[in-house]
Structure 1
Amino acid sequence: MKLSIDHKSPIPLHIQAEQLLRELIKDPAYQGGKLLPNEVELAKKLAISRTTLRQAINKLVYDELLIRKKGFGTKVATSKISSKAMNWLSFSQEMKARGITVKNYELHVSWVLPDENVASFFEIGTDKKILKMERLRGNSEDPFVYFISYFHPRIGLTGEEDFKRPLYEMLEEEHSTIANLSKEEISAVRADKFVAGKLEIESGSPVLFRKRFVYDHGERPMEYNVGYYKAESFVYAVESRRIENS
């Protein structure tokens, strides 16, 4: 495969490098755990800095397409089995559809420095504070989900908004930011002491862990959300329809 970057293109170099890497990892030569070319060699071949190349690699590591181990190298990650739904709802909408009245047990808003994963998703530095919202929610009897959301500074949130309102409704009406695309990852994990305390379960109990990446109409990242659900309280349903051949 020919590796080249157009240095005269208006597309940023790290975006071009990321697109190139996405094509490169499809090559059968790099399946089965074979290492990619090392960063020094690849950066030199593309005539870009290692910092620019590393930014592209970090994005693919974040997307779980690559695995990088210090002192070992970078290789293509083994594909995970995932289910994708064609439509998505906010938590409030999900619960309303099930006839459940949502109760907010806790709501905390703060300004924090993002970790590398969040910063990479938002394509910002780890030295820029962003708004973090934590919500413990459930029904009238007990809490069953703990959410943590981070928002891109581009939205313009102040922290003074009424976060008790439906989130995406508030973002649209007060900040002209419309959630248009959601990408989700769901896995089973054991609750650590902190999460177990929030959900009122034993530490080490199984919980459903959902990561949600939300984009606006321009497919720009706007929210990074993680949720911990009591396993017995949440079912992830996927509806698929067969498309007949024409």
Structure 2
Amino acid sequence: MGAELNIKIDRSSPVPLYHQVVQGIEAAIHSGELEYGSRLDNEIELAGKLNLSRPTMRKAMDELVRSGLLVRKRGVGTQVVSSQVRRRLELSSLYDDLQRDGQKPSTEVLEFRHGPADAEIIQALEMPDGVNVYHLKRLRSVGGKPLALMENWVRNDITEITEEGLRREGLYQILRNAGVNFRLATQRVGATVATAKQAELLHTSPGAALVTMERTAVDDAGRNVETGRHVYRGDSYSFEMTLVQS
């Protein structure tokens, strides 16, 4: 027996019926109602329960399979395989984006150091003499599933940062609470494959695809506040952007 789906179909809505099904299943996956590995009823049974035609249900399921959220397995049926986080390219943190999507992120602080920065970080943050940095390494998870490994350097003349604070809140929220108004950032998105250590922490396999992101953020006073290097599970994470023809 497949997982129960609580999807309300509004036949008076201009949204196509198949897309209402797609939206309902996506929401159930992202909220954790449908967990990784959950099996769904076959399309005939689902169509009957939702009072929809089989072609409508098949179109919805095909779209969810193409998007990577579901997979069809012979002898097993249709299963949830991913609750991929789609992140817009904007000046926000992963913690912000997960909370905005109604998810509950958790953070494990892997390393926390406070002291002098090396030459590369001093240059990236354009640090004045006498300023040190917080060097942070964290593992971010959602729904108990590891999603990202994050390494950041934050100049210490902005605010005090503690390990306990990092477990409770996202880094950008801590900095906003200290009065930082982020204005712009330089960011590079790329790809790599997981090392043995990264694979162990992210619960994936060595050589698995990872998304990479490097960023240096600047506040409205012109200070380079923080710089970071992050890696994300490629099967659970993507960036979105809108392109405009000028």
TM-score of the aligned structures, taking structure 2 as reference length: 0.56
1:233 CA displacement: 0.8
Pairing 1:170–2:174 present: yes
SS in 2 for 1:155: coil
Identity of aligned residues (%): 17
**Among residues 123, 145, 167, which one is paired with 1:142 in the alignment?**
145
Unaligned runs of 5+ in 1: 1-84
**Among residues 178, 182, 193, which one is paired with 1:179 in the alignment?**
182
Equivalent residue number for residue 97 of structure 1: 100
User: 1:9-20, aligned counterparts within 5 Å?
Assistant: none
Structure 2: distance between partners of 1:219 and 1:128:
16
1:123 CA displacement: 2.4
Equivalent residue number for residue 155 of structure 2: 152
Aligned letter for 1:130? Answer: V
Structure 1: distance between partners of 2:131 and 2:185:
24
TM-score of the aligned structures, taking structure 1 as reference length: 0.56
Aligned letter for 1:167? Answer: L
Structure with a larger share of its residues in strand: 2
Q: Which has the higher contact order (CA 8 A, sep 6+)?
A: 2
1:208 CA displacement: 0.8
Structure 2: distance between partners of 1:121 and 1:189:
22
Deviations 1:69-111 (A, max 9, x none): xxxxxxxxxxxxxxxx773321122113333221224454222
SS in 1 for 2:211: strand
**Among residues 208, 211, 228, which one is paired with 2:211 in the alignment?**
208
Structure 2: distance between partners of 1:151 and 1:217:
16
Pairs aligned (count): 158
Change (3 A) 1:197 1:122: same
Deviations 1:114-173 (A, max 9, x none): 333212112248996421122111211310101111101321425366222232232232
User: 1:26-37, aligned counterparts within 5 Å?
Assistant: none
Structure 1: distance between partners of 2:147 and 2:161:
28
Change (3 A) 1:188 1:126: farther
**Among residues 134, 157, 168, which one is paired with 1:131 in the alignment?**
134
Aligned letter for 1:165? Answer: E
1:113 CA displacement: 3.9
Pairing 1:119–2:122 present: yes
Q: For structure 1, which segment, 229-238 or 203-212, has the greater mean C-alpha deviation from structure 2 after superposition?
A: 203-212
Equivalent residue number for residue 191 of structure 1: 194
